[in-house]
Structure 1
Amino acid sequence: MLDWTVSVFLTEQGWNTDWLMGCLPLHVVQKIHCIFAGFNHTEADSCIWKLTSNGEFSVKTAYLSLFTEETNYTWNWDIIWKLQVPPKIKTFLWLLIHGKLLTNVQRVRRNLASNSNCPCCNGSMESLDHLFRRCSHAAKMWNSIGIPNQVAHSFSMDFKDWLFTNIKASFSCMQGIPWSSLFLVALWFCWKWRCKKVFDLNFSPPPWPHIPIIHFSREWLVANRSRNSKLPKHVLKLHWSPPCVGWFKINVDGSCMGELGAISAGGIIRNDAGVWVKGFVTKLGCGSILEAELWGVFRGLLLTWNESIRRIQMECDSLTAVSLINGETGTNHPLSSIIHCCKDLLLRDWECTIYHIYREQNSAADHMAHLGQNSSLGFHVIDLPPPIVNLLANDSSRGTTARLVPV
């Protein structure tokens, strides 16, 4: 067994799950199983650049990686990007979290300066914690603003816990301004005033620092509400549509659940009358939602071909997956093997196209993908419809679902 190679565990249909389960722990098998390998036209392994989403090297990511502090802290970036602050403050926050703000401590570390003292109080080393919390100028700013009781305890936490607690705060304070927004604007002004002090020794922060901070926060809040209120909205009545006469349609979808990222995919083939022809589910192990969506596309195309269907329309609600397959994708993309195998399937001797649709038009495939979560590892063809008769009937009767979209 010690002399076995990876090819021993591969078949023409992918991984030999039984053999893997007999040799490795389940959590390892789940990580291996979602790796696309063993199929025709699978590309050879190669080195890619892990710091970009497409695997291509960029000078920017290489440069930034040199100055990123090692941290085990996990940030919820969805929360951060949805904060009600200007883009420049979100960028500032990104730099702050990654330790890229050039405080004097950082400048000394990079041999850009010889003095690490704070330029505002000249009393302690200018670390991020000192600059934004411990410095007398920062303390004056926070006292001027007034710390709400809900987050007062956070000022005794370590620096990153303090940041996270205030960023995720969901309450509003003075004049209806969300505390998370006011907090970030205060940090930004603190940094702005510090930089002015560095370049102008005669500069002094305003005696009442809360005034410009609240004014800026309020102006942005009002402007943002005004902009959003003027966006015209349109209600779309969405429903599944059968294919053209003589054609078949396959709807596919992926699913990703839980902290470990358990992924699965599923799909349904129907004829031009909306009648069930065949379905599939596949449990893939652990991975990303994009991997699940691409596996759904690949398995759906392969199943349709093997069923001798030669006029097929495929629909998928993942715009990213559809764009990668229909567009140009480099060989360095982390998922290039499965993407290019999907492209090869589309080029076979048949009439086959793939389109993006809204998820409201893909409810039956979504249900199949979730069924895959409860199946055993591997690919399973389903000949008879599972208990989703109501969804199939709703699709066949052109039942609509409303979706509000910007015009």
Structure 2
Amino acid sequence: MLNEKYLKGGPITYAATNEIKGCSSTWKGLSFGMKLVSKGLKWRVGDGCQIMFWIDDWVPEIGILQSHALSTLSADQLSEKVSNFMTNEDWDIQKLSSVLPWNIVHRIMNIHAGRRQSGHDKVIWGLSNNGDFSVKSAYDTHYMIDASFSWKWNFLWKLQIPLRVQSFLWILLHGKLLTNDNRAIRGFIPDTIYERCKAGCENINHVFRSCEKSCFVWEDICKGITRSHLFICDWDDWLMQNLKNNRLVFGKVAGYLLFAVSLWFIWKWRCKEIFDPNFRFPPYPGLIIKRFLDNWLNANYADSKKVDLNPCYIAWSPPLEGWVKLNVDGSLNPNSGSIAAGGVIRDHKKNWLCGFAVKRGIGSVVEAELWGLLEGLKIALKAGFRKILVDSDSQNSVKLLSNPTPPNHPLFSLIQSCKALLEEHWCCYVQHNYRESNRVADMLASLGHSLDLGISFFEKPPQQILGVLDDDAKGVAFARPGPFVE
């Protein structure tokens, strides 16, 4: 009823911009709420029949296209829909380039829309990966909270470390650990003196780096380290570098694991010294930490779940006789933000059948991977192959194709188009493989950045990839560092 009365069939986004006199209190509340969340809304282009080409904000990071038009627009032009700029289930490049600058056409070209599988135009939540609304992201947007700070440490939850240490680190990384300076701010204590060494204010930097006993712990763990090494970089950089250190120490322990557990023990011993009168600081802290790590590793990686810390050697493998293998990959240029993709089809005798590289507009790595898969499948189907194995080194892309696609997903059209090709009358399987076995596709994707916009076909392999192609034919394997769980 509200939709028919106030929107007249238009999208809910109009509630944030259309001032209606004499409307009900219910509609006033909805309109006020829409103004709050409108910053997080964006269009997902489907068939293009609902979005106004010039006056709706539908191109990421560009804004309303009317302000970018190459000439003054007539009333008829202002009423044009996005679908007016599509032809044969793709964008009309000639028409787009006649009314807009090339850099904007470049962005539009990367929006996958106008296909049978694209669905209708849809308003989605632009502040989440899946297009679904979340209260937290809306709150952060309204109060102008910089989400990048909290996301910076999200990799912590993927680290293989004890859960208690993980929880402790989350508090530490966000500066919420109750050192004396934080306790004084909260009014728990009158001053910030560090009781263990009486050396000024007790803050997190002092507890974990400046304190004599903390330095002793680091020196005992890392033989040969000097105190100056602890202050080469600032606090956040020091944490980041050490928590992303995958190098093995003591032959079997990842550097980040040793670092994380050491931080936890330093804090644990600090608290014991203050609150337990019978506690004495251990003379060999490194030995205690190493023993703890041995016990934790043995308990978590028993015979049923052994961790192989040795490198695994990976090579490209040909398909079975009667099958062909399609390797695809995507590439993102970090400077321009443009994406490209590439792929190669080979038979069981390792012969080159065809290859391609495609250059798109501005996008993400996942978009690039999906574009590579889409174009590769179209080429394979058109070439008449009916038994095809697809290798991609993008786990995210493979998961998107194997799971149901949420209707609000920003890449709905691209994903559904890939799925439609997979459901054609052929035997086609998509699997994840490591990048060490995907080097030819990787080079073709990189080559795509230097080509013209669109797709380029290679009946013969380009000169730049002959060496890598020869490695694959010879079965050359490349080491991939562990750990690998059996």
TM-score for both structures, normalised by structure 2: 0.59
Root-mean-square deviation (CA, aligned residues, Å) is 5.2
Q: Does 1:117 align with 2:186?
A: yes
* Distance in 2, Cα, partners of 1:46 & 1:303: 32
Matched-pair contact (CA < 8 Å) for 1:316–1:322: no
2:435 to 334, 359, 377: 359
Whether the 8 Å contact between 2:312 and 2:479 is mirrored in structure 1 is: yes
Tell me whether 68-77 or 397-406 shows the greater mean CA deviation: 68-77
Aligned match of 1:217 in 289, 296, 308? 289
Per-residue deviation, 1:266: 0.8
Q: Find the residue that maps to 2:116 and give its secondary structure.
A: coil
Residue type at the aligned position of 2:432: H
Q: 2:230 aligns with which of 131, 146, 151?
A: 151
Name the amino acid aligned to 2:331: S
Measured in 2, the distance between the counterparts of 1:282 and 1:316 equals 17
Q: With structure 1 as the length reference, what TM-score do the two structures score?
A: 0.69
By relative contact order (CA 8 Å, sep 6+), the higher-ranking structure is 1
| 1: CA distance, partners of 2:284 / 2:105 | 57
CA distance in 2, matches of 1:217, 1:77: 24
Structure 1 residues 168 and 369, CA gap change in structure 2 (3 angstroms): closer
Match of 2:388 among 301, 304, 313: 313
Structure 2 segments unaligned to the other structure (5+ residues)? 1-68, 194-200, 220-225
Corresponding residue for 1:111? none
Contact 1:67 1:100 in 2 (8 A): no
Q: Count residues in correspondence.
A: 384
SS in 2 for 1:46: strand
Aligned partners of 2:385 and 2:254: how far apart in 1? 56
Question: Structure 1 CA distance, aligned partners of 2:191 and 2:453?
Answer: 61
CA separation in 2, counterparts of 1:205 and 1:178? 35
Within the candidate set 371, 377, 391, 2:447 is matched to: 371
Indicate the residue corresponding to 2:423 in structure 1.
347
| Native 8 Å contact 2:315 2:476 kept in 1 | yes
Distance in structure 2 (CA, Å) of the matches to 1:250 and 1:186:
46
Alignment-mate amino acid for residue 356 of structure 1: H
Is residue 288 from structure 1 mapped to residue 364 from structure 2 by the alignment?
A: yes
Larger Rg: 2
Counterpart of 1:45 in structure 2: which amino acid?
A: K
Distance in 1, Cα, partners of 2:325 & 2:336: 32
1:257–1:144 Cα change, 3 Å: same
Structure 1 residue aligned with 2:275: 203
Moved more, 378-387 or 98-107: 98-107
1:132 to 196, 204, 209: 204
Could you report, residue by residue, the CA deviation over 1:226-265 in whole angstroms, capped at 9, with x for unpaired residues?
Answer: 76996456966744314543x5443222223436654311
Query: 1 CA distance for matches of 2:215 and 2:485?
Result: 42
**Correspondences of 1:319-330 after superposition (within 5 Å):** 319-330=395-406
Structure 1, unpaired ranges of 5+ = 108-114
Partner-residue secondary structure (3-state), 2:275: coil
What are the within-5 Å matches in structure 2 for residues 1-400 of structure 1? 1=69, 2=73, 3=78, 5-12=81-88, 14-16=90-92, 19=96, 23-24=100-101, 26=103, 31-43=107-119, 44-48=121-125, 50-51=127-128, 53-56=129-132, 70=146, 73=149, 86-98=162-174, 116-117=185-186, 119=188, 121-123=189-191, 131-133=203-205, 142=214, 145=217, 148-152=227-231, 160=236, 163-164=239-240, 184-185=260-261, 187-188=263-264, 203-204=275-276, 214=286, 217-223=289-295, 231-232=307-308, 238-242=315-319, 244-245=321-322, 247-258=323-334, 261-270=337-346, 274-305=350-381, 307-317=382-392, 318-387=394-463, 388-392=465-469, 395=472, 397=473, 399-400=475-476
CA 1:347–1:72: 2 relative to 1, 3 Å: closer
Q: CA deviation at 1:313?
A: 0.6
Q: How much does 1:281 deviate?
A: 0.7
The separation in 2 between residues aligned to 1:250 and 1:162, in whole angstroms, is 43
The one-letter code matched in structure 2 to 1:117 is R
Amino acid across the alignment from 1:385: P
Question: For residues 97 and 192 of structure 1, what CA distance do their matches in structure 2 show?
Answer: 16
- Percent sequence identity is 33
Secondary structure, aligned partner of 2:415: helix
Residue 342 of structure 1 aligns with an amino acid whose one-letter code is C
- How far apart, in 2, do the equivalents of 1:69 and 1:12 lie? 43
289-298 or 79-88, which deviates more:
79-88
Deviations 1:42-81 (A, max 9, x none): 1333324734x44456789889999996365597659857
Aligned partners of 1:50 and 1:338: how far apart in 2?
Answer: 19
Cα distance, 1:292 vs structure 2: 1.6
User: Aligned equivalents of 1:75 and 1:231: distance in 2?
Assistant: 29
Distance 1:11 1:20 in 2: 14
1:311 Cα deviation from its structure 2 partner? 0.8
AA of the residue aligned to 2:186: N
Work out whether residues 132 and 190 of structure 1, in 8 Å CA contact, stay in contact via their aligned partners in 2.
no
Check whether the contact 1:69–1:98 (CA below 8 A) recurs between aligned residues: no
Name the CA shift for 1:268/1:106 in 2 (closer, same or farther; >3 Å). Answer: same
